[in-house]
Structure 1
Amino acid sequence: MITLHHLNNSRSQRILWLMEELGLPYEIQRYQRDPKTMLAPPSLRAVHPLGKSPVITDGELTLAESGAIIDYLVGRYGAGRLAPAAGTPEHLRYTYWLHYAEGSAMPPLLLKLVFDKIENSPMPFFVKPIARGIAGKVKKTFIEPQLRQHLDFLEMSLPQGGWFAGAEFSGADIQMSFPLEAAAARGGLNESRPRLMDFLARIHARPAYQRAIERGGEFALQ
């Protein structure tokens, strides 16, 4: 039996979704973020030394990192589903988006979250103008242009009504869901990029996505 070590409002939501798409039996071990720091609890380190989520255990195997987990579950249990055939152009695109999601899309979104918190965190009055000025300049000159560049690239790369690896829905779309959910929450993604907004609407309508939300609990990124 696969166990998903599931942190609320985290990347582990997409692993829940993947297992629902594959129809796999699994158990959920739940963890809650610290309400002040928003970090995972120390108990996750008992499962994996970094104390991050998602982590799955499958028999003797313990595996972290969303892309690695998706690759493992689709390869072992997919029976040809949710991944294009090896050696095809679609499979190359599938591999690219599995890596792009965390390697390229998430870093500017994480920076945006960090610098937003710097701007809005309580601090001594004499420090506040300096900290906010630095944070605002970094966002304006580096982070926000990077986000626009990535969103333009994604809008251009996603076929109208299609999926990231090609005509068929795949694990790459599950992997790409998190950065796009984050971009809609805090990265400037809106109706000005209709293909990406349509992608989010289509994944939200999938029965497996909705079952994953029911099992995983409220999913709301800040």
Structure 2
Amino acid sequence: MISATCNRIFQQSIDDYHLADHVDTPVRNPYAKDSLEHLLYVKNWIDTVQWHLEDIIRNPAIDPVEALAIKRRIDASNQERTDMVEYIDSWFLQQHSAVTPQPGASINTESPAWAVDRLSILALKIYHMQVEATRAEASDEHRSKAQEKLNVLLEQRTDLSSAIDQLLEDIAAGRKFMKVYKQMKMYNDESLNPVLYQQKNK
């Protein structure tokens, strides 16, 4: 099942990141470059670094210059995240390129890779909620509430994993079909973001 592979790779990436626990730690992807595992590892590494950048930027005592630099880094990370989702969807599309959709086949509300994206973020939520549920210096009430939230997150992962596997089974059987849409983000494009192109034309 694809979801089992996703969950295993995501956990590996998160564990590897936390060996140094620093946003500038270089990624050391252990998987072959053209493999799905490679794409999944990169995808989650991007998400993990961005998760910690989002934590850092919320420090009320942060230097404004540093905050701006981090905000721009988060913007770039969002673009990388979107690009990786499109790469993963392209991988799935290639895997099912020989499938002929059945009459009446439908398209899903989201592509397989965007569902995988949610699974990656969910892995991070689970990891960090587990930390809070077992944090020794926290109060019993804090740990109890964190455990309740963790239980919900674990249930969400089970449900989402099942839904991803079912979607891919439906695509493989021709009951559903998929397309890869380029997200066409506008805020990083100098020709589409009015703030950027107005500055450029001054």
* Structure (1/2) with the larger strand percentage: 1
TM-score relative to the length of structure 1 = 0.36
* Structure (1/2) with the larger helix percentage: 2
TM-score relative to the length of structure 2 = 0.39
Asked which structure has the greater CA Rg, the reply is 2
